[in-house]
Chains A and B, each alone.
Chain A
Amino acid sequence: MIEARGLARTFRRKKQEVRAVAGVDLDVAAGEIVGFLGPNGAGKTTTLRMLTTLLVPTAGTATVAGCDLLADPVGVRRRIGYVSQSGSTQPEALAGEEVVDHGRLYGMSTADATARGRRLFTELDLEGLWERKPKAMSGGQRRRLDIAMGLVHEPGLVFLDEPTTGLDPQARANLWQHIRGLREERGTTVFLTTHYLDEADALCDRILVIDSGAIVAEGTPDALKSGVGGDVLTVTAARADEVGAVARLVAGLPGAEPPQVHGDRVVGRVPNGGGALVQLVRELDAAGLGVAGIESRRPSLDDVFLGLTGRSLREEGAPVAPVVPEPEGALR
Chain B
Amino acid sequence: MRDHAVIAGVGFTEATSPRRQELSKNELCRLAVDRALEHAGCDRRDIDVVIIGDIAGFEASSVAARTIAPALGLPPYTTVLPICTGGTTGGHLPNQAAALIRAGFAQRVLCVAPNTFDGPVDLQAVINTNSPMVMEQPLGMGAVHMGAFFPAAYQERYGVTDADFELLATKNRENADHNPFAHVTSALSAEHAARMVSTPLRLGMVCPVSSGAIALVVGAESVVGGQAGHPVARITAAQSISDGYLGGKRRDFSTFEVVEVMARRAYREAQVVDPRSEFDVVELFNPYAPMEFMLMEAFGLCPYGGAPELLRKGVTRYGGDLPVNLSGGIQCTNPGVAGQISPVAHIATQLMGQATARQVEGARRGLAHSTGGTFFQFHTATVLERVDL
Whether both chains belong to one complex is answered with: no
Chain A interfacial positions (CB closer than 8 Å to B)? none
List chain B positions with a Cβ less than 8 A from chain A: none
